[in-house]
Amino acid sequence: MGIFHRLIEDEFTSRVPSILICGGGYPSLCTRAMTDRIVTHFRVPVVGLADFNPHGYEILEVYRRGSANSMHAGGCYSGIDLRWLGLRRSHIDAFALDPAHAIPLSRRDRKILDR
């Protein structure tokens, strides 16, 4: 939540007309429902900012496609046209970032990537 608080402190929404939503990790069904209603009602683009790791990617995918746990809700609140904002693999090469500073993937990380 560090970047979220920083955006609030910097009054980001005063400079860039937007709505900031913090899912606090994996978004709840209520957070996804609210996001879906905002997108549907106001027809605004959605940009996701998440960590550059398997968990960050999976969080963005939950907004895009829903989760296995949301099947009881009829699969609603998925299909949001979310665009990823943040670091990507191509940036590591482009900015010559040293891969030695990367945290190795855990067994759980690899399992997330295999899904």
Distances (CA, A) of 22 to 14, 31, 100, 103: 17, 8, 30, 24
Residues 24-80: pLDDT tens digits?
888 888 888 888 888 889 888 888 888 888 998 898 888 888 876 666 655 566 678
Measured CA distances, 83 to 28, 45, 49, 107 (Å): 19, 8, 9, 27
Average pLDDT, the chain: 83
**pTM across the whole model:** 0.76
What residues contact 112, with CB distance under 8 A and at least 6 apart? 54, 55, 57, 58
Coil/strand/helix, residue 48: strand
Calpha distance 39→11 (Å, rounded): 22
Residue 12 predicted with pLDDT over 90: no
| pLDDT confidence tier of residue 108, bands split at 50, 70 and 90 | very high
